[in-house]
Structure 1
Amino acid sequence: MQTPTDGVSTPQSTSVLRSSIAPYQNSRYPIGSLTSTRRRSSYRIPSKRKIPQSTPIQETFDPQKAALLLQKQWTLYSVTPMYDFSYTKLKEYSKHLSATIVAEKQKGVAVDLGSDVAFKANFSCLPGLKGKESDPTAILVQITGKSPISKPGTEERIVWTGWFCGPYTEDEILEVLPETFTCLPLFLTNGSESFTAIVGTWFQQAFDCCFGKLVIRSLDLRWLAAMWAGYEVQGHVPTTELVFSVPVEPHMDISFAIHPEDFKTLWNDIQKSKDEVTVEEVEHLFQCLYSHFFRHFKIHLSATQLVKVTVAVASAHCEGKVKFLSKDHLVRVLGFLTEIAVNNIQY
């Protein structure tokens, strides 16, 4: 799937409307590919980040839908605010997207499971994924498939899943947007890229928004490792793992496995406040890890690049891949990814 990095222009007919919602840029695109948003000219490196208050998943959150989000690898995108999106029209959107998928199949667009499979799209809400009351309700989009020759009573199976969310979105952003816009800056997908392209371009055409592949920078991965270190979860806690890419040919990765309690103890000794994390604390944590690794293996990890982090609550890769390992603190982790997504579309 192609994601050009050049900027996009705003249609003249909507330029007046768009001027009130800077720093976002929107445009319309033809079906066929998912076009990236305009990137920031310089990445804003925060000096500190607040730790969100623990927000348990609300009782209104369907346990079956919660299970859909865990133990799967999700590809991350940033998305600009959607114009004229309505939560009361989800059934209508389901019909329109289903019709679009059928039309793309008839034009020969490659989709999984073969040409004889009937696909159907379904929109629904994920009301439990909020960091605070002002956050817009998350949206789940599923594509199911069923062969016409299937036996009666055979259930349709899910072939693609995507969801839009934005827990802990900054109030400054929500307040500046007109009521005609819905801000759900984080988009996560699991399934075929052909379906992702169809769904993404349908949203671009229907709601005048645009998407960008979300890359998690090495610095953000270090923040994630530090901030997630103190998150306690129930049940089995996996080993904390940091994967570093070595700049040599042929390509080589170094995996640094740490007992989660040791990692947490080290972080607790460094972190001064339970309400926020500073960049100095994050750098201090990794300098300690680098020094420990060098004493044992005589390798300078500071000369490598952190590409993957796995802790108790989630696993994240620099290519914009995330797997949620526990429902505990899911909303808080999504809030951090939302901040990265918003950074990706501001300039």
Structure 2
Amino acid sequence: MRGALPDGRAIQTLRGGRRGGEACPCNCSGPACRRPDTWPRDMDASEPGKATAAEPGAHLASTTTTTTTLSRGPAAGRSRLLFGHTPLRRAAPPSPAPQENADPQKIAFLLRKQWALYSVTPLYKFSYANMKQYSRHLSAFVAAEKQKGLAVEVGIDLGIKVIFSTLLGLKGTDRDQAAILVQIASKTQTTSGKEEEKVVWSGWFCCVFGDDLLENVPEDFTCLPLFLANGAETYTAIIGTWFQKTFDCCFSRLTISPLNLAWMAAMWTGYKVDSHAVATELIFSVPCIPQGLDISYAIHPEDAQALWGTVQNTQGEVTQEEVDLFMDCLYSHFHRHFKIHLSATRLVKVSTSIASVHSDGNLKILQSKYLIGVLMLLTELAILQIQ
């Protein structure tokens, strides 16, 4: 965590934030900061909504965004049990089996880019066989929009080219329909006078384990509920408008709730990576502050995995209780060190070795090995938003 405590002591992260040999910043005995199995399972006795993080003098990392929404985190899980509701369950992510027909270059293209997430209703009378025709018509549409509505003839050289292609290997089951990649390339002249094409915008549609939606959709519709865009928002708006007019579909921004961010933090922490492991970082927004403040909470990847290993007991699935317990342990540990109740803040971003995602719907995928697992959960959220 960045910043300082009221008494001037520096706020640091867990083990991953200290150099070897340095003492724990809270002057504790040490093992509790390094061993997840010693972290207390019960939250410190406090009022669930007590926003201790907002106390005067608690200097935290500043941002330009404010929020007035409280996320109860684990408290919400306890209230759900109080009313006797069955906890949510999700199937455990599939094992990272390699996709035989995947194009390594295209998969690599998807990594380490900032993607804006959208949900999309089924496309009416979309045909994979007509993608070349779609490319020509959409190229003309984009050029016309860039020229402020002037008519443009289909087929002439427009200086802008739209390319449709399939993304093989991005399917959870055989019933899922093939993912589609749409790219806008702009022609530019080099200093030597040669023309070359540069991709200025990319977007892709996919459906991974989308059985819940596929069961109820007529044959004339193509179900690709998750859309990811990278590039200027003006291009995203133009592409969205053309798809809506052509295939009678609807786009809406896909935001991620604090509850689902907690699911991602827990499930992605459980993935094992061979290299480039980074700290699990949780960003919390502090409510009811005149100027926006964020708390950054980083956990060493080995500690985070060890903690998840102690709370995840069910085979083939992940339960809401396990996610709540994982977050409870992190919240309790943080409060013991810094006397700040994270349950009174709002979780807005999760970063792991697998991916990072913000509540406003921005995603960066870091590992191709677990791409299907990441898209599976995002597809589910997109379908829920459509329904």
* TM-score (ref. length: structure 2): 0.73
**How many Å separate the matches in 1 of 2:119 and 2:267?**
22
1:284 aligns with 2:328: no
Q: Which amino acid aligns with 1:126?
A: L
Q: Which amino acid aligns with 2:117?
A: L
Aligned to 1:308: 349
**How many Å separate the matches in 2 of 1:107 and 1:57?**
45
> Could you tell me how far 1:106 is from its partner in structure 2?
1.9
Aligned to 1:56: 97
Aligned to 1:198: 238
Aligned to 1:253: 294
Residue from 170, 177, 180 that aligns with 2:220: 180
Q: Secondary structure at the match of 2:202?
A: strand
Q: Is the CA contact (8 Å cut-off) linking 2:283 and 2:296 kept in structure 1?
A: yes
Q: Is the CA contact (8 Å cut-off) linking 1:55 and 1:131 kept in structure 2?
A: no
Structure 2: runs of 5+ lacking an equivalent: 1-84, 151-156
> Could you tell me how far 1:173 is from its partner in structure 2?
2.2
Q: Secondary structure at the match of 1:147?
A: strand
Q: Which amino acid aligns with 1:344?
A: Q
**1:121–1:45 distance in 2 versus 1, CA, 3 Å:** farther
Give identity over the alignment, percent.
56
Aligned to 1:233: 273
**How many Å separate the matches in 2 of 1:292 and 1:284?**
12
**How many Å separate the matches in 1 of 2:141 and 2:86?**
40
- 310-319 or 151-160: which moved more? 151-160
Aligned to 2:172: 131
1:169-198 residue CA offsets vs partner (Å, 9 max, x unmatched): 12x421221111000000000000010001
Q: Which amino acid aligns with 2:187?
A: K
Structure 1: runs of 5+ lacking an equivalent: 1-43, 110-115
Residue from 210, 220, 240 that aligns with 2:250: 210
Q: Secondary structure at the match of 1:92?
A: helix
**How many Å separate the matches in 1 of 2:229 and 2:317?**
30
**Number of residues paired by the alignment?**
296
> Could you tell me how far 1:153 is from its partner in structure 2?
4.4
**How many Å separate the matches in 2 of 1:89 and 1:296?**
60
> Could you tell me how far 1:150 is from its partner in structure 2?
6.5
**1:45–1:84 distance in 2 versus 1, CA, 3 Å:** farther
Aligned to 1:219: 259
1:230-284 residue CA offsets vs partner (Å, 9 max, x unmatched): 1112321111100100112211000000001101111110011131111111111
**How many Å separate the matches in 2 of 1:230 and 1:260?**
10
* TM-score (ref. length: structure 1): 0.82
**How many Å separate the matches in 1 of 2:273 and 2:149?**
46
Q: Which of the two has higher C-alpha Rg?
A: 2
**How many Å separate the matches in 2 of 1:128 and 1:189?**
19
Q: Is the CA contact (8 Å cut-off) linking 1:309 and 1:317 kept in structure 2?
A: yes
Q: Which amino acid aligns with 2:292?
A: H
Matches within 5 A, 1:138-177: 138-147=179-188, 151=192, 153-170=194-211, 172-177=212-217
**How many Å separate the matches in 2 of 1:187 and 1:314?**
17
Q: Is the CA contact (8 Å cut-off) linking 2:188 and 2:196 kept in structure 1?
A: no
**How many Å separate the matches in 2 of 1:100 and 1:148?**
23
- 160-169 or 225-234: which moved more? 225-234
**1:249–1:117 distance in 2 versus 1, CA, 3 Å:** farther
Q: Secondary structure at the match of 1:140?
A: strand
1:93 aligns with 2:93: no
1:291-339 residue CA offsets vs partner (Å, 9 max, x unmatched): 1001110100010010000111100000000000110110110010000
Q: Which amino acid aligns with 1:138?
A: A
Q: Which runs of 4+ in 1 moved over 3 A?
A: 148-154
**1:82–1:253 distance in 2 versus 1, CA, 3 Å:** same
Q: Which amino acid aligns with 1:220?
A: N
Aligned to 2:229: 189
